[in-house]
Structure 1
């Protein structure tokens, strides 16, 4: 690729990053973002829900300055890199000079990539690293395998789903004669060793905890209780998340892969889709699960567009760009001034947390006066890890115990009040039913309720003080 074409790719990636940053500018952190930020307060090789990359990047973003925009900046950069690598990967799948530009444009316009490439989530670094891995695997020869191994290792540090590259490569050995010839040299094996070495500290961290993190993700990914509606939502999520043109053309190109590069990208892309589709037939699946393969899918779709007649190819490309632009603008407009989504969970995620934390601190002042705790630094048992995370970010509280719902990183940390120390329970109503059977305490005070408005609705909260912590039951 010449410098002019590379400059165009960099320009598209930069514009996509700026547009995505503008899309979420001014929005409060939604609960998962705050949760990952909370991780960054205690950097480690691993965490309960995901590998550590999201926490490392959150710590980097926080180090720049305060505010949600700075926290999200490293993730916006990762989103731009995913666009760049999609274009580079397209250049490996087609000799047509239009392919790299079209691949980058499709990745820039993919609605789900626009969203995940703007928020403090594991998806942005996973998509960037996995896209780099797909591109480098497509062109890996000799020492070039080491760069592919580095990308795979970084992908593993971002999201466990990247481990699907291992069975993908095993299947590829049977499918790709060129790969079998490469395996006679040491470089692919050294690349694999490099990827494992990068991931080994995280694997060791999880092993020391009984592989709780990997077990949680396997249970989460291969649960039960699916329905026709949920399967339909998953399919609709893929059509909308990648874009109908990208999804249809990309899959069509990859399932008919012929060249070694096509086969390598196909193996890395199709397996995540196959696994998540199988999972969707068993239990609930979130639309973003296969999104780390979206950039490579965009690259394949660009190669497919290059095989079509020029007028049709440009119309389909324009359709994809228009759809992506409309959805980005609509998302930014609706989240700032909810109308169609007013009062829904889609609006609730990004609104009202600052007000909730302010009201919670005010109620905590009254509860602490009764229980005898310090309202500026109380020990808190929250009803959910999401609530605890928002209170940590917007309320400034730092000490949290386990929550009443599913296990989380708070359980891994295992923080507890000191014996005899007063503490607070914060929730959305009464003291959570799951709390009392687990904690022994004395001096339960009255529950102080409050309301925190957000556009289109009101979030309720409650604070209850306890005078003495006596231990766990």
Structure 2
């Protein structure tokens, strides 16, 4: 009776948590701006193919399905992924029930502890910060996780008894994973090792139905292989060679620390403990299945942890271990049952707190007001920010000059503007970001990669440049490269989001390439006060500014967007010219400035200091603001 009551309470807790999280994800997904990768997958979905440079086809197909049914908007893009994400905890429940189901010889028992553990495992899948919010974004991690859980459930079923249903489920899981991402190959490899390490697993390879399932999974990789054959292995080179240094670096030491923090430390420790107990044949009624889950989950985390010391450390990789974490979750409740009550409560509490923190992050990202307050933070979500304001500005410019063709200077802008304007064919210029993210080959396949002015046709252009996407020390060289391709750059329209943390420049270029020396946007820097400095109401501001081709006419100092003073511009500083050797501003070396400003009656506390740069060509450019604190 006690176990039956416990099972009822565990089921009720799971259903409440699953429902609340599903509703929260639905509400946030409908408001959260599109992530850059999501926009590119939408673009791939509008150019339907069996495979692409960065991924197999499934993610793009789901994006196309979603927007076909619900329209080109963030909810339309995400709803198929929300459904798959909502199904994941239920699959964990099924797997956990499978792990704790008594063997045939024990089926006369009336022990309901397996049901308790199953619902608790599902609840952990809801609360796991890394996995609980899966589906909120239209990313390949969602079908990867779904495919992994199908394969785990099929594996447990086949370990008990080989039948056509289990083989079919395994085939479906392998096919979905193969159509989701290159990274699923690691899950297949680890899963095969886990099966071969178990006597009952090795016996499965004697059954033809299992081989048929494996063959179906192998066939699902054919579209990706064909794409690479047709495109000089561009996708494989990016995934396996170009993006990884393949040399030892100590940054990998942070991998397990980050994993523990993102999964919450006590839950991560519980999964590690469950892996050890599972391999010893403890923690589940079906010992072979326990060893299978333990080995699959533990090895997946360890393999990616070792790779972290040699692989790409510039892009996010903390989500790579999710298949392994999901494999361990069915074993965790039985492990927690062995822990003292206080530690169990702390584990559950930390998991809830972690999920709340993750959800709060997305709420901040979805709020323009909240996001702007954190513009100076290192974790500022640049890949979510500013796309709606940029799209509004682009629409305005197009309406003013009908027949204008939009050109983006990198794939991020091309995809995000394409999604906002429902135009999947925006031309993109060569850019280091295209190469770094493996998108250049796909843009080339679509014939959207424009290498020069002639390839863009004889029509007016609206060039959209992401100034904040280029390292500042490389920005002037980037502007000159644009001049080389497209001619002198006219005065830009500046679209500045979140105090300039996201900054876009819009250039209206004529139908024919203009002639003359390279003219670029202004470059500037505030030497004093430093970022986040504490100053009185009357303070001094110093810095420098130049504008290649024409020079600077005036530098105005702004506070919270309002002009509070004009700088004394034209002071000599030969060091600036020495650093920016390619600059052709006629005023060099007289490009430094000083300003004594009065903040007036503003309230004490956080304010934003900025510049308004007026060029000799009439251009007026807002410069990114930096925080400071005014004290009485």
TM-score by length of 2: 0.65
Counterpart-to-counterpart distance in 1, 2:352 and 2:60: 32
For 1:392, the equivalent position in structure 2 comes to 418
Q: Give the structure 2 partner of residue 329 of structure 1.
A: 360
Q: Distance in 1 between matches of 2:488 and 2:254?
A: 45
**Greater shift after overlay, 154-163 or 206-215?**
206-215
Going from structure 1 to structure 2, the CA distance change for 1:468 and 1:206 (only over 3 Å counts) comes to: farther
Alignment of 1:247 onto 2:275: no
Question: Is 1:90 the equivalent of 2:96?
Answer: yes
Hey, what's the Cα distance between the residues in 1 that align with 2:242 and 2:325? Answer: 21
2:265 is the counterpart of 1:236: no
Query: Is 1:338 aligned to residue 382 of structure 2?
Result: no
- Which aligned pairs between 1:5-404 and structure 2 lie closer than 5 A? 13-66=18-71, 67-95=73-101, 96-140=114-158, 141-142=161-162, 143=164, 144-219=166-241, 222-224=244-246, 227-228=249-250, 230-256=251-277, 257=279, 258=281, 259-285=287-313, 286-308=317-339, 312-329=343-360, 331-333=362-364, 335-336=366-367, 337-338=370-371, 341-344=374-377, 345-363=379-397, 374-375=403-404, 378=405, 380=407, 382-397=408-423, 398-404=425-431
Q: Which has the higher strand share?
A: 2
- Aligned-pair distance for 1:340? 6.4
Q: 1:414 aligns with which of 430, 447, 467?
A: 447
Indicate the larger mover: 2-11 or 70-79. 2-11
Deviation track 1:258-284 (CA, whole Å, cap 9, x = no partner) reads: 222123223432333223212211243
Instruction: Mark the runs of 5 or more structure 2 residues left unpaired by the alignment.
Output: 102-113, 282-286, 468-475, 514-632
Structure 1 window deviating more from structure 2 (30-39 vs 230-239): it is 230-239
Structure 1 position 58, deviation (Å): 0.9
CA distance in 2, matches of 1:383, 1:300: 49
Structure 1 residues 35 and 189: CA distance shift in structure 2, 3 A: same
More displaced 10-residue stretch of structure 1: 158-167 or 458-467: 458-467
Q: CA deviation at 1:159?
A: 1.6
Is the Cα–Cα contact under 8 Å of residues 348 and 454 in structure 1 kept in the other structure?
Answer: no
Farther off after superposition, 263-272 or 242-251: 263-272
Contact 2:190 2:300 in 1 (8 A): no
Cα deviation per residue 1:329-360 (whole Å; 9 max; x = unaligned)? 35424642237634445343333211112223
Gaps of 5+ in 1: none
CA offset at residue 178 of structure 1? 0.3
CA deviation after TM superposition for structure 1 residue 238, in Å: 1.0
> Residue 131 of structure 2 aligns to a residue in which SS?
helix
Structure (1/2) with the larger helix percentage: 1
Evaluate the alpha carbon distance shift between residue 189 and residue 312 of structure 1 in structure 2; reply closer, same or farther with a 3 A threshold. Answer: same
More off after superposition, 139-148 vs 341-350:
341-350
In the alignment, the residues of structure 2 paired with residue 214 and residue 14 of structure 1 have an alpha-carbon distance, to the nearest angstrom, of 40
Residues 168, 389 of structure 1: alpha-carbon distance in 2 compared, 3 angstrom cutoff: same
C-alpha displacement of 1:29: 0.8
Distance 2:94 2:456 in 1: 58
- Structure with bigger RCO (C-alpha 8 Å, 6+ apart): 1
Q: Deviations over 1:18-70 (max 9, x none)?
A: 22223344121121221111111111111111121111111121123232123
Q: How many angstroms apart in 1 are the aligned matches of 2:340 and 2:489?
A: 74
Give, in angstroms, the shift of residue 71 of structure 1: 1.5
Larger Rg: 2
Please give the alpha-carbon distance, in whole angstroms, between the structure 1 residues aligned to 2:416 and 2:45.
14
Query: By how many angstroms is 1:450 displaced?
Result: 1.5
Using the alignment, how far apart are the partners of 2:222 and 2:492 within structure 1? Answer: 47
Following TM superposition, by how much is the alpha carbon of 1:197 offset from its aligned partner in structure 2, in angstroms?
Answer: 2.3
Secondary structure, aligned partner of 1:82: helix
| Deviation by residue 1:74-100 (Cα, 9 ceiling, x = unmatched) | 111121122222222222333532221
Report the TM-score when normalising by structure 1.
0.85
**How far apart are the structure 2 equivalents of 1:153 and 1:191?**
9
Distance 1:41 1:84, change over 3 A: same
Q: Deviations over 1:282-337 (max 9, x none)?
A: 24342122223332232232342234356643442233223323442354246422
- The CA RMSD over aligned residues, in Å, is 3.2
Aligned length: 456
